[in-house]
Amino acid sequence: MTLIEFRNVSFVHQTGVTALTDVSLSIGKGETVAIVGENGAGKTTLVRHINGLLKPTKGSVLVEGKDTRETTTATLSRKVGIAFQNPDHQLFSESVENEVRFAMKNFGFGEDLIAQRLDWTLKFFGLDQYRKSSPLVLSGGEKKRLTLACILAWDPDVVVLDEPTVGQDALQKEKLGQIFKLLQSTGKTIIIVSHDVEFLWPIQPRLVVMSGGKVVADGQISQIMGNRELLEGARVTQPQLLRLYQGLASRPATPFLDVLEARDWIGGRKQKPEAR
> Minimum CB separation from another protein for residue 231, in Å?
9
> Minimum CB separation from another protein for residue 80, in Å?
24
Q: Which is nearer to another protein, 111 or 264 (CB)?
A: 264
Is 254 a binder of another protein (CB under 8 A)? Answer: no
- Is residue 270 exposed (0-12), middle (13-18) or buried (19+ Cβ within 10 Å)? exposed
Q: Which residues of 209-241 are buried (b: 16+ CB within 10 A; e: fewer)?
A: bbbbbebebbeebbebbeeeeebebbebebbeb
> Using CB under 8 A, which of 58, 140, 220, 223 touches another protein?
140
> Using CB under 8 A, which of 91, 168, 191, 193 touches another protein?
168
> Using CB under 8 A, which of 72, 247, 253, 275 touches another protein?
247
Spatial distance between the Cα atoms of 189 and 198, rounded to a whole number of angstroms = 21
> Minimum CB separation from another protein for residue 45, in Å?
14
Q: Which is nearer to another protein, 66 or 269 (CB)?
A: 269
Q: Which is nearer to another protein, 74 or 259 (CB)?
A: 259
> Minimum CB separation from another protein for residue 139, in Å?
6
Mask of contacts with another protein, 10-49, x by CB under 8 A? ---------------------------xxxxx--------
Task: Kindly indicate which of the ranges 63-71, 106-114, 150-158, 246-254 contains the residues binding another protein, using the contact rule CB under 8 A.
Answer: 246-254
Q: Which is nearer to another protein, 37 or 205 (CB)?
A: 37
Mask of contacts with another protein, 180-219, x by CB under 8 A? ---------------xxxx---------------------
- In order of 99, 169, 192, 218, the CA distances from 208 in angstroms are 32, 26, 10, 4
Task: Kindly indicate which of the ranges 44-52, 68-76, 106-114, 259-267 contains the residues binding another protein, using the contact rule CB under 8 A.
Answer: 259-267
Task: Kindly indicate which of the ranges 76-84, 98-106, 179-187, 265-273 contains the residues binding another protein, using the contact rule CB under 8 A.
Answer: 265-273
Spatial distance between the Cα atoms of 32 and 145, rounded to a whole number of angstroms = 20
Is 276 a binder of another protein (CB under 8 A)? Answer: no
DSSP secondary structure, 68-116, as one string: GGGS-HHHHHHHEEEE-SSGGGT---SSHHHHHHHHHHHTT--HHHHHH
> Using CB under 8 A, which of 46, 118, 190, 236 touches another protein?
236
HSE toward the beta carbon, residue 32, CA cutoff 13 A: 19
Pairing of strands 32-37, 206-211: parallel
Q: Which is nearer to another protein, 73 or 237 (CB)?
A: 237
Q: Which residues contact 115 (CB under 8 A, 6 or more apart)?
A: none
Q: Which is nearer to another protein, 90 or 189 (CB)?
A: 90
Q: Are 161 and 97 in contact (CB under 8 A)?
A: no
Going by C-alpha positions, the residue among 83, 150, 165 that lies closest to residue 120 is 150
